[in-house]
Structure 1
Amino acid sequence: MANLKEIRSRISSVGSTMQITSAMKMVSAAKLKRAQDAIVQLRPYADKLRDILQNISSTLDADAGGKLTEQREVKKLLLIVVTSNRGLAGAFNSNVIKKASLLLTDAKTSGAEVELLTVGKKGFDLLRKQSTIYKNSSSLWDNLNFDDVATISEEITEKFIAGEFDQVRIVYNQFKNAATQVIVDEQYLPVQIESGEQTAPSIDYIFEPSKEEIVKDLIPQTLKTQLYKAILDSNASEHGARMTAMHKATDNADSMRRALVLQYNKERQAAITNEILEIVGGAEALNN
C-alpha cells in the first residue's frame, strides 16, 4: 500500500495535469468559435456554387467540363488525407487515418497505384509507412488561408489534366457540432456533373459567354472552394474534438484527485490511530 508521501505526490501530479487539461479546453473553445464561424459562413457559398454548376450543366453533355469531368479507369489514385499537426484530440486523427488505410487497402487490392497528399503531421507520420507520399502540406495549418489552398488545388488539377492521376479523393472530418465529427470520403476529381432532364421549371436565359465556357470557368473555382471547405471543416472538427477530449480529461482528473484525497485521509487517520495506540500502550507498560 502506498505511503502518505507517495499519495501526496500523486495528488499534486493529478492536480497539475488537471490545470493543463482545463487550460487546453479553454484555448480550444476560443479557437473553435472562430473556426466554426469560418466554416458556417463558407458552406452556403460552396453549396450555391455547386448548385449553379449542376443547374447550368444539366442541359449539357457529360463531357462539357473537358478533362476535369472525364471518367477514367482508376490506375493511379491520389488520396488527400486531412488530419492535424497536434494530438490530444480524442479519436479525431485516428478515425481519419483508419478510413484512409481502408481506402488504401481497397485500392491496392483492385490493382491501383496510390499516392498520398497529407495535410497534417499526424497523418503524414502514420501513413508514410503504408504508401508513397506525393506531398506533405502540413504547413497549411501554420497560417490557414484560401490562397495557399487554391495553389494546392491548381497543382492537383494540372496533374489530373496531365494524366498523372486518374482519380482524386478527400478524407476528412466534417464538423457537425463540438462533440460530433463525421468522417467524409468524397470524390474530388473527376468532377461529377449530373446531366439529364431538369426537374425545376425551365427558364429561357441568355448566357454570355456560352454555357460551356461558364462551366469550364466554374469548375476550377468550385474545386478550390471544395478543398478549402474540407480543410475548414477539419479545422473546426479538430478544435471541437480537442475541447471535448480535454473536458473529459479534466473531469477524470478531478474524480481521480477526489479518490486520492479520500485515500490519503484514510491512511493518515490510520497512521494517527496507530501512533495513539503505541503511546497508550507505552504508558500502560510504564505504569505496570
Structure 2
Amino acid sequence: MASLKEVRNRIVSVNSTQQITKAMKMVAAAKLRRAQDNIIQMRPYAQKLGDMLSTVSAGTESSSDSPLKTARPIEKVLIVVVTSDRGLCGAFNTNIVKATLLLIEERYAIQAAKGNVEIFAIGKKGAEAFSRRGFKVNTGFTDLFTRLKFVAVKQAAEEIMHDFSTGRYDAVDIVYNEFKNVATQLIHTDRYLPIVSESATSAKVKTAEVNYIFEPTEEEILAELIPKSLKIMLYRAVLESNASEQGARMTAMEKATENAQDLLKELKLIYNRTRQAAITTEILEIVGGAEALKN
C-alpha cells in the first residue's frame, strides 16, 4: 500500500490537472462559439455559389475547357489534410489521419507505391503524422490556424490550383472534419480537383426551364466563378475543421475533468484508509508496549 505522503502528492497532482482541464474546457467553449458563428454564416454562401457554378457550367459547352475541370489519367495525387495545431482534442486528429490512410489504400494504392502521393498539410498535427510515415509533405501552410483569415486560405487554394493546372498533380482530394455539434464531427473526403459537376443533370433541366440573361458572357462568369468557388470550398473546410476542433477539445476536456473528479474520490478514500490503518497500527504498538512494561 502507498504511503500517506505518496497518496497526498497524487491528490495534489490530480487536483492541479483538474483545474487545468476545466480552464481548457472554458477556453474551448469560448472559441467554439465564435467558430460556430463563422461556419453557420459561411454555409449558405458556399452552397449558393456552388449552385450558381453548376447552373452556369451545365448550360455552357466551353466550361469543359477550363484547366481546373480537365480530367486526365491519375499519376500524381495531392491530398489536402486539415488537422489541428495542438492535441488534447480526443481522437480528432487520429480520425483524420486514419481516414486519409484509408483513402490512399483504397483509391491511390498504385500511386502511393510509386511515391506519387503528396500531402498538403493544414495543421501541424497532420504534417507531423505523415512526415513520420514517410510521405512527402507540403508544410507551407501548416500554421494557417494562427492566422485564420480568408486571405491566407486564398493563397493556399491558389497554390493548389496552379499546381493542378500546370500538371504537377492529376487529382486533388481534401479530408476534413465537418462540424455537426459539440460532440459529433463528421469526416468528409471530397474531390477538390478536377471539378466534377455532381448535379449536372438537374442543372441542365433548370437551365432549360429558365432563360437566364448573362452579363458579361457565360464564359467570363465561369472564369471568375470556378476559382472563387474553389477558394470558398477550401475556406469552408478550414472553418468546419476549426469549429470541430474546438467542439472535440471541449468534449475531451469535460471528460478529463470528470475522470479527474472520480480519481480524486478514489484517492481520498485510499488516503483515509491508509491514515486509519496507520493510526490503528500506532495504537496497537502503544498498547503492546504498555502490556510489555506491565508484565
Identify the residue that residue 221 of structure 1 maps to in structure 2: 228
What's the CA shift for 1:89? 0.7
Conserved in 1, the CA contact under 8 Å of 2:86 and 2:124?
A: yes
What's the CA shift for 1:57? 2.1
Q: Distance in 2 between matches of 1:6 and 1:205?
A: 78
Structure 1: 5+ residue stretches without partners: none
Q: Distance in 2 between matches of 1:55 and 1:108?
A: 31
Conserved in 1, the CA contact under 8 Å of 2:78 and 2:120?
A: yes
The answer to whether 1:74 aligns with 2:81 is: no
Output aligned runs, 1:93-112, within 5 Å.
93-111=93-111
Instruction: Give the match's secondary structure for 1:204.
Output: coil
The answer to whether 1:283 aligns with 2:287 is: no
Specify whether residues 54 and 108 from structure 1 end up closer, same or farther in structure 2 by C-alpha distance, changes over 3 A only: closer
Identify the residue that residue 85 of structure 1 maps to in structure 2: 85
Structure 2: 5+ residue stretches without partners: none
Aligned residues with identical type, % of pairs: 51
Q: Distance in 2 between matches of 1:107 and 1:57?
A: 27
Instruction: Give the match's secondary structure for 2:111.
Output: coil
Identify the residue that residue 195 of structure 1 maps to in structure 2: 200
Specify whether residues 65 and 195 from structure 1 end up closer, same or farther in structure 2 by C-alpha distance, changes over 3 A only: farther
**For residue 211 of structure 2, what is the amino acid of its counterpart?**
D
The answer to whether 1:146 aligns with 2:150 is: yes
Specify whether residues 82 and 275 from structure 1 end up closer, same or farther in structure 2 by C-alpha distance, changes over 3 A only: same
Q: Distance in 2 between matches of 1:78 and 1:62?
A: 26
The answer to whether 1:115 aligns with 2:118 is: yes
Q: Distance in 2 between matches of 1:53 and 1:163?
A: 23
**For residue 281 of structure 1, what is the amino acid of its counterpart?**
G
Conserved in 1, the CA contact under 8 Å of 2:63 and 2:222?
A: no
1:100-141 Cα offsets, whole Å, 9 max, x none, are 122233455233621111011111111023311234311211
How many residues align? The count is 288
Identify the residue that residue 251 of structure 1 maps to in structure 2: 258
The answer to whether 1:268 aligns with 2:275 is: yes
Q: Specify which of 205, 212, 215 is matched with residue 205 of structure 1.
A: 212
Identify the residue that residue 243 of structure 2 maps to in structure 1: 236
| Structure ranking higher in helix proportion | 2
What's the CA shift for 1:223? 0.4
The range that moved more, 96-105 or 237-246, is 96-105
The range that moved more, 126-135 or 114-123, is 126-135
The range that moved more, 29-38 or 134-143, is 134-143
Identify the residue that residue 39 of structure 1 maps to in structure 2: 39
Instruction: Give the match's secondary structure for 1:171.
Output: strand
Q: Distance in 2 between matches of 1:181 and 1:236?
A: 9
Identify the residue that residue 5 of structure 1 maps to in structure 2: 5
What's the CA shift for 1:55? 1.7
1:205-237 Cα offsets, whole Å, 9 max, x none, are 211112222122111110000000000111111
What's the CA shift for 1:44? 0.7
Output aligned runs, 1:164-175, within 5 Å.
164-175=168-179
Identify the residue that residue 28 of structure 2 maps to in structure 1: 28
Specify whether residues 133 and 241 from structure 1 end up closer, same or farther in structure 2 by C-alpha distance, changes over 3 A only: same
TM-score by length of 2: 0.92
TM-score by length of 1: 0.94
1:67-98 Cα offsets, whole Å, 9 max, x none, are 11111111111110111111111000011111
**For residue 32 of structure 2, what is the amino acid of its counterpart?**
L
Instruction: Give the match's secondary structure for 1:81.
Output: strand
Q: Distance in 1 between matches of 2:189 and 2:8?
A: 49
The range that moved more, 110-119 or 137-146, is 110-119
1:38-63 Cα offsets, whole Å, 9 max, x none, are 11111110011101111222223384
Identify the residue that residue 19 of structure 2 maps to in structure 1: 19
Instruction: Give the match's secondary structure for 2:205.
Output: coil
Q: Distance in 1 between matches of 2:241 and 2:103?
A: 19
